[in-house]
Amino acid sequence: MNKRRCGVLLHITSLPSPHGVGDFGDAAYKFVDFLAEARQSLWQVLPLNPTRTVFGNSPYSSYSAFAGNHVMISPDLLVRDGVLLKSDIEGHATFPLNRVDYCTVTAYKESILRAAYKNIHGKLGQIFEFQSFCNENACWIDDYALFIALKEHFQGIMWSDWPEDIRNRKEGAVRDWGKKLKDRILMEKFLQYLFFKQWFSLKKYCNTKNIQIIGDVPIYVTYDSADVWAQPEIFKLDDARKPLFVAGVPPDYFSATGQLWGNPVYKWDVLKETGYSWWLRRIEYNLKLYDIVRLDHFRGFVSYWEIPVAEKTAVNGKWVNAPVQDFFNTLYKHFPSLPIIAEDLGTITPDVREIMSMFGIPGMKVLLFAFGDDLSVNPYIPHNHIKACVVYTGTHDNNTAKGWYKKEAGPKDKERIRKYLGREVSEDDFHREMIRLAMMSVANMVVIPMQDILGLGEESRMNLPATSENNWTWRFSPEHITSALIQELSEATEIYGRG
């Protein structure tokens, strides 16, 4: 965390693959080889949790804060391991090369994963590695697998609308449903085993190449999830176990009505009474998955915007303080060298900065935010950077650098950019200038979205916040990575001392 380093932001689903979506197969290992050859030492990914087409396939909306996303399992690796036959993965629909068609690819992956389970389920009791995986992850996988089986049995309805005995997790109901749905539960555990086996193999390969993985941990969980169903006592719910309040952010410069996220908010007093045991498990778990963890919406650990559930916008919420100092004291007591990054974008108050300074937690600096009319004092402009931060040209929620310059930057923004750089900048070269500014920053860490490294435009944007269609679908092609690109990135890394 204290060395000059650089790396790339690319989600797993954005990797090339013949199977319609990026996965943990050969293209992932080739991407690691590219990073190593280009002298990069960081790979940042988005949350790996299961996504849902009904919620726009966002990795920030999931049935579980612990489980892995089935679509990232590589069919080719399953064939190589003898779990599938080559014929099992052939004859599928034609997939687009540069986008993810989640409906089609999810149906395809579910079909071949059912085949994988059918091929192996009679032998699962003899696979020691699978048994060990289930035992080591019992604190979440038992609840999650039952939750998924129940969701399918009740045709997808929200868990709070299930029959009262299982909604409220009566001991007899949990036992009886576990017996009734035991085959589907076992299949879900097997699929999670495959996911994490492939993931940890890829992570090990990264680490042998001296590349560390930055993971992303959303502060909130989805209401309709195994997490809330299994531990309702740590969320603000009513007697019917439905939310009393939901999370969001208040009105600001970007939105007159704020943002209504809809996630249930935590009972921080209850969490404190338990010694934050749920959060300790979650952090410990993510430190196994990743080398460094980005905490999304960091300011919510200091104080959070709480909105009554009946509200249609985020206007009528209120700030509620969380026991932030006690919480982070507890985290650092358990994890003395806690490698975390704070997502501190947006309006950040002095109390948040104080906590980050107190615990030495680096924040984020996004260069696309740097060229407003407050240029000299803007915290995102390179001359105001500090060592303890991570510099990005943009994030998954921003336009690409090229797309921003073409579509969003106004004449005054472009004039300030020209003056700051001391020369004219073209649309085709803007991404290179932003990468150079990031690399030369005093900041210890730099992470560049793959779209900006490739110089791609708005059509390659990953996510447009407050929209639910056509997000999270971008993929790059193998031919995008050329020897010239590797040389250019490697040279910049060396020049600015990040190799």
Is residue 397 annotated as part of the catalytic site, yes or no? yes
**Phi and psi at residue 268, to the nearest 5°:** -65, -25
Instruction: Judge contact between 341 and 293, C-beta under 8 A.
Output: yes
What is the Cα–Cα distance from 423 to 437, expressed in whole angstroms? 14
Contacts of 264 (CB under 8 A, 6+ apart): 220, 221, 223, 228, 235, 236, 237, 243, 245, 246, 247
Q: Which residue out of 76, 296, 344, 433 is catalytically annotated?
A: 296
Would residue 222 count as lying in a domain? yes
Is 273 a known active-site residue? no
* Residue 444's pLDDT band (cuts 50, 70, 90): very high
Q: Look up 343 and say whether it is catalytic.
A: yes
Report the domain count for the chain. Answer: 1
Q: DSSP assignment, residue 302?
A: T
Asked whether residue 10 is assigned to any structural domain, the reply reads yes
Read off the tokens for 241.
């176990």
Q: Give pLDDT tens digits for 183-230.
A: 999 999 999 999 999 999 999 999 999 999 999 999 999 999 999 999
Residue 346's pLDDT band, with cuts at 50, 70 and 90, is confident
Q: Is the pLDDT of residue 469 over 90?
A: no
Percent of the chain with pLDDT over 90: 94
What is the distance between the alpha carbons of residues 83 and 462, in angstroms, rounded to a whole number? 33
Domain assignment present for residue 98? The answer is: no
Establish if 114 belongs to a structural domain: no
Residues spanned by the domain of 287: 5-66+209-495
CATH number at 254 reads 3.20.20.80
What CA–CA distance (Å, rounded) separates 192 from 64? Answer: 12
Does residue 127 lie in a domain region?
A: no
Pick the catalytic residue: 81, 142, 291, 397? 397
pLDDT digits (tens, 9 = 90+) for 369-420: 999 999 999 999 999 999 999 999 999 999 999 999 999 999 999 999 999 9
Would you say residue 152 lies in a domain? no
Query: Are the C-beta atoms of 57 and 49 separated by less than 8 Å?
Result: no
CA 347 from centroid of its chain's CA atoms? 22
pLDDT per position as a tens digit, 427-439 = 999 999 999 999 9
Classify residue 177 by burial, with Cβ atoms within 10 Å: 0-12, 13-18, 19+.
Answer: buried
> Distance between CA atoms of 199 and 24, rounded to whole angstroms?
7
Six-digit token string for 259? 């943002």
pLDDT score recorded for residue 113: 97
171 in any annotated domain: no
From 141-155, 221-235, 246-260, 323-337, the region with the lowest mean pLDDT: 246-260
pLDDT, average across residues 125-134: 94
15: which 2 tokens?
């990797």
Question: Per-residue pLDDT averaged across 446-452, rounded?
Answer: 98
Q: What is the pLDDT of residue 332?
A: 97
Q: Determine how β-strand 245-249 pairs with β-strand 445-449.
A: unpaired
Q: What is the pLDDT of residues 223-275, one digit of tens each?
A: 999 999 999 999 999 999 999 999 999 988 768 899 999 999 999 999 999 99
Rounded (5°) CA angle 465-471-476? 130
Is 169 inside a domain boundary? no
